[in-house]
Amino acid sequence: MDTDVIVIGGGLSGLALADHLQRAGIAYRLLEARARFGGRIKVASVGEAGFDLGPSWFWPGQPHMAAMVKRFGLTVFDQHSEGTLCYEDEAGVIHRDLGFSSMEGSYRIQGGMSALIDRLVASLDRQNIMTDAVVKTVHDKAGVTVELQSGEIIKGKRVILAMPPRVAANLTYQPELPVAAMNAMRSVPTWMGGQAKFVATYDRPFWREKGLSGDAMSRHEPLMEIHDATDPKTGLGALFGFVGTSAGARQRQGEAIKTAAIEQLGRIFGQQALSPEKVFYQDWAEQIETASDLDLRPVAGHPAYGLPNALSDLWEKRLRMGSTEVATQFGGFLEGALEVAEHLAQDLIADR
């Protein structure tokens, strides 16, 4: 055997699981298809400032995230909430002074969520983690065997799919998994899989000078929800928004969406918003490591996540699911990714 546990996916759940295994003295190999670690955690850097293009927040009552930021000495700060909220109606008419910040009480991490990924990666044995490792086939033969697109073969006793179930459904399995298992994988919506995010940076958060929180809700595309993303250390101002245009409709429309988003910020926050220093756009639906074609359909509300019964005993538990979408309490969130990693680690350590 080359290793004990093969972890496929180098996002937060995969890296956290590798961290647990390493500290427990269990041999592992972690394979990430992208050229970077982090999965859906990605940051746009401007000097020392970092702006999240994936998840931005965690919350009180999420113990795994609290423990992780404490362990690595990360700087946590409150989401800016002082000031009033704006609302843009269907006709593009702006209504101000309608309430206070919708995300008051949320926490952010200085430098962006990638600061957590960087610390996790630095804690791992570099020879055990790989980027640009695209998995082609997973075999259940003499333990498990993972075949990479490069032709490399990795053998182990167990394999963990630390990736969205719908993405895992696109891998080839030999022998084929039961139809019920494949259907269950495809039925689990990928959190953020159909979303896109836009960020605009400015020399300072000028909207605060007008008594605005940076929060806005809109019924007029492209951005449906906007928040202050200012970096507290450098003072570099930023606004970010979730794109409301459906994943199918915005395909190959990135430049047009960026232009329309800047115009929208100008309507809501004034003339100064029309001249950002930098803009960033991330469409997660275009990332094959994150989303499948099934994720092009909008998700209505937060899915009821958890591990489907059909995925609970694959290859006599030599093949197991390990992404945030199968978490029982905080499915879809960063906390869910850490929750799943801890539970899997406990089982794997006990099996040892």
Q: What is the pLDDT of residues 186-198, one digit of tens each?
A: 999 999 999 999 9
Alpha-carbon gap, residue 170 to 150, rounded angstroms: 17
H or E stretch covering 145: strand 144-148
| Bridge partners, 218 (sequence order) | 88
Q: Where in the chain is the domain with CATH 3.50.50.60?
A: 1-41+113-189+298-352
| pLDDT at site 1 | 63
The torsion angles phi and psi of 240, rounded to 5 degrees, stand at -130, 155
pLDDT, tens digit (0-9, with 9 covering 90-100), for 277-303 = 999 999 999 999 999 999 988 777 789
For residue 99, pLDDT beyond 90 = no
The torsion angles phi and psi of 130, rounded to 5 degrees, stand at -130, 140
The torsion angles phi and psi of 255, rounded to 5 degrees, stand at -65, -40
**Rounded mean pLDDT of the chain?**
95
Integer angstrom CA distances of residue 258 from 180, 214, 275, 291: 41, 18, 12, 21
Query: How much is the CA Rg of the chain, to the nearest whole Å?
Result: 21
Query: Nearest 5°: CA angle at 224, between 219 and 227?
Result: 130
The domain defined by 78-109+194-289 folds into Polyamine Oxidase; Chain A, domain 2 (3.90.660)
Alpha-carbon gap, residue 91 to 309, rounded angstroms: 47
For the 1-41+113-189+298-352 domain, the top CATH level (class) is: alpha beta
| pLDDT at site 77 | 96
Contact 36, 313 (CB under 8 A): no
**In the chain, what percentage of residues exceed pLDDT 70?**
99
| pLDDT at site 246 | 87
* Average pLDDT of the segment spanning 79-98: 91
Q: Who's near 73: CB < 8 A, 6+ residues apart?
A: none
Q: Where in the chain is the domain with CATH 3.90.660.10?
A: 78-109+194-289
- Other beta carbons within 10 angstroms of residue 76's beta carbon come to 13
pLDDT, tens digit (0-9, with 9 covering 90-100), for 199-221 = 999 999 999 999 999 999 999 98
**In terms of pTM, does the model score above 0.75?**
yes
| pLDDT at site 103 | 85
pLDDT, tens digit (0-9, with 9 covering 90-100), for 334-348 = 999 999 999 999 999
| pLDDT at site 351 | 86
* Average pLDDT of the segment spanning 175-193: 96
* Average pLDDT of the segment spanning 7-36: 98
pLDDT, tens digit (0-9, with 9 covering 90-100), for 112-151 = 999 999 999 999 999 999 999 999 999 998 899 999 999 9
pLDDT, tens digit (0-9, with 9 covering 90-100), for 23-80 = 999 999 999 999 999 999 999 999 999 999 999 999 999 999 999 999 999 999 999 9
The torsion angles phi and psi of 49, rounded to 5 degrees, stand at -90, 145
